[in-house]
Structure 1
């Protein structure tokens, strides 16, 4: 989807909702629509029947940056509060109602905006709704898909290189630091989220932070990380065994759980295609783990969309009947977490196509002993 078509589709959405204006303060949405990457902005959209007129309000810190980055909107640099400036523009245009994003606009911001409209003597009322930009962002343009694929490929390269570094005795934070340093040197903007490195019993915590705990021989190590490239996120998870150690019974149990998760992950990946509901993909992973007697230890959703943010729609989970569409980029990441023992998670990022999906993270995900 080109930037021009984004504006056209948004105009149609606002016209259908009988909404003459929309205020956007969620920065990823601002970037998606006009390209601005600063940390302070309010984007006001005035809708016609087939086009949108847009103005970006930001402060003097971003004077040069805004003028270099912004496309499709006029830029106004303000000395005071950007919301006050946006309210004045709405008042000057005699806008009767303006939409605000219920998912990302705090009560404090709503109160501040209402007060600013009163000060500007505007009769404009606010309507909270799920921003139409949210649905627009779910289906990626060809350019976005290519950027996400490049980010995922870089993540795979980093993972493959890191395998030669990992060994028993290293601390989890040593591995996280090494990965993040290599990512920066390889050209990443930064990390998509705080890198998860968890070994042994700590791997039973799905979102464990890397700690100073050393990795003991024979422990399972879960590595969940993502990098950002040109503003877009990658995301992948692999679980490996670090060295030899532990009883034969524990080793066999680790391998059994790993294989069950791998089969569940592959079952979910294989069912992804245009038109299949998100809950159907989730159910495919859970059914496989139920057959293995491990479903109760799968404690989170099967996946999520990603793009400018690490978590975007759609959500791949139970009771999510939204159909997947070609052009969506999602993760498939079932896991099994045995409290106090160990955990296994395997995650790929995939691009939804008309007939199936393309795996963007093809790094080896079978059983691996380092």
Structure 2
């Protein structure tokens, strides 16, 4: 073949990966907050906005030397394709593996001050007229804040926590699948552990067995809150399981960062009539909370029937009910009550639920004679109602003597 016979081929530009979140939704939320740009510095929001990425080297710690690992995504409203990721030099190897959808990256930042200085130069270049910059106030070190403040004179640094949280409120089908998978496998692990243990097993034995059972199912174990008998202490310990005692397992484990957080009950032996009645009351409260769950329904209505039932209960002084959002953060949006142990305003109490929101619903009884009795369930809001994730094992799980 001669050079003259070779046809010229058209140049095809490489296709950039899709932005893994709803950029138009984020732009609208930033517009509502009056923000021109946002600096994302929390691990969970970095993970979300980078499509599930979390750098493995710092998965369990942030500290190094005299500073810390501080990734940052610089996002300018309306210009998603110009987003910049700022991180550790070691993450350049992750870029080689195609982990990032952003075209602009800076991997020369080993301290929080260096990250902030690079964010300053990035904003000066890509958004020189920006005057209101959103920051994650709970996830930005003081030294980094000082660099931003001094390097951006005339710029107002304001909280972007609410718009970033609202961005994640409605889950995609891929996110829902991870939440369902995590919830199902956490419950499967609980039931397996209950079936393997009996008289003499300690809380520490059972908690470690649960860690194993979750891990072999592909779940990243986060925690186990465990009680036995009349004690309300939920820490793993040498306390041994005795005949007739109740056991509660409340565990969180995640798949791809999405948390399965549920609680199930067991008894060593068979439940008597009183225990059956107590768990039945808790179950009735749980199911009443599911009743109003529906896209378009008022968020606060989830609490109406359960609170009425608690008010009528003979155990009302020892009963507690809460429903909260669930995703890659526990107690994320929607926020349905201002009376949670985790403090926040009831932002969604008078706003409609949306399909794709996910709720953790939990009812707890601290019974003076029978001990700690609780159910915690996970439900996703749909257009026609709700669907439950990991709904097995909600009665008394008996393992015999």
Q: Secondary structure at the match of 1:44?
A: strand
Instruction: State the 1:334 CA deviation.
Output: 1.0
Q: Which digits, 9 at most, give the CA deviation of each residue in 1:87-118, with x for residues without a partner? A: 2222334232211134x245x43x63233442
Q: Distance in 2 between matches of 1:316 and 1:165?
A: 38
Q: Distance in 2 between matches of 1:13 and 1:311?
A: 20
* CA 177–348 in structure 1, closer or farther in 2 if over 3 Å, else same: same
Q: TM-score, normalised by structure 2?
A: 0.80
Task: Decide which of 274, 277, 301 is 1:253's aligned counterpart.
Answer: 274
Aligned to 2:366: 337
| 8 Å Cα contact 1:335/1:346 also seen in 2 | yes
Aligned to 1:248: none
Q: Distance in 1 between matches of 2:93 and 2:205?
A: 39
Where in structure 2 are there 5+ consecutive unaligned residues?
A: 1-17, 59-69, 340-345
Q: Which digits, 9 at most, give the CA deviation of each residue in 1:302-345, with x for residues without a partner? A: 22221122332223436731432111111111111135751211
Q: TM-score, normalised by structure 1?
A: 0.87
Aligned to 2:133: 98
Q: Which digits, 9 at most, give the CA deviation of each residue in 1:249-270, with x for residues without a partner? A: xx44333322211111111122
Where in structure 1 are there 5+ consecutive unaligned residues?
A: 246-250
Q: Secondary structure at the match of 1:326?
A: coil
Aligned: 1:360 with 2:373: no
| 8 Å Cα contact 2:245/2:267 also seen in 1 | yes
Aligned to 2:337: 317
Instruction: State the 1:32 CA deviation.
Output: 0.7
Q: Distance in 1 between matches of 2:37 and 2:202?
A: 52
144-153 vs 12-21, which moves further? 12-21
Aligned: 1:14 with 2:30: yes
1:54-73 aligned at under 5 Å gives the runs 54-66=83-95, 68-72=98-102
Q: Distance in 2 between matches of 1:278 and 1:262?
A: 21
The alignment covers a number of residue pairs equal to 353
| 8 Å Cα contact 1:7/1:33 also seen in 2 | no
Task: Decide which of 176, 185, 197 is 2:226's aligned counterpart.
Answer: 197
* CA 199–317 in structure 1, closer or farther in 2 if over 3 Å, else same: farther
Aligned to 1:240: 266
Aligned: 1:185 with 2:201: no
Instruction: State the 1:129 CA deviation.
Output: 4.1
Q: Which digits, 9 at most, give the CA deviation of each residue in 1:265-312, with x for residues without a partner? A: 11112232223333321232222233222222124x522221122332
* CA 166–87 in structure 1, closer or farther in 2 if over 3 Å, else same: same
Q: Which digits, 9 at most, give the CA deviation of each residue in 1:196-216, with x for residues without a partner? A: 1211122x35xx222211111
CA RMSD of aligned residues (A): 2.4
Instruction: State the 1:171 CA deviation.
Output: 0.3
Task: Decide which of 192, 203, 219 is 2:245's aligned counterpart.
Answer: 219
| 8 Å Cα contact 1:200/1:221 also seen in 2 | yes
Q: Distance in 1 between matches of 2:199 and 2:295?
A: 43
Aligned: 1:75 with 2:105: yes
Q: Distance in 2 between matches of 1:244 and 1:145?
A: 36
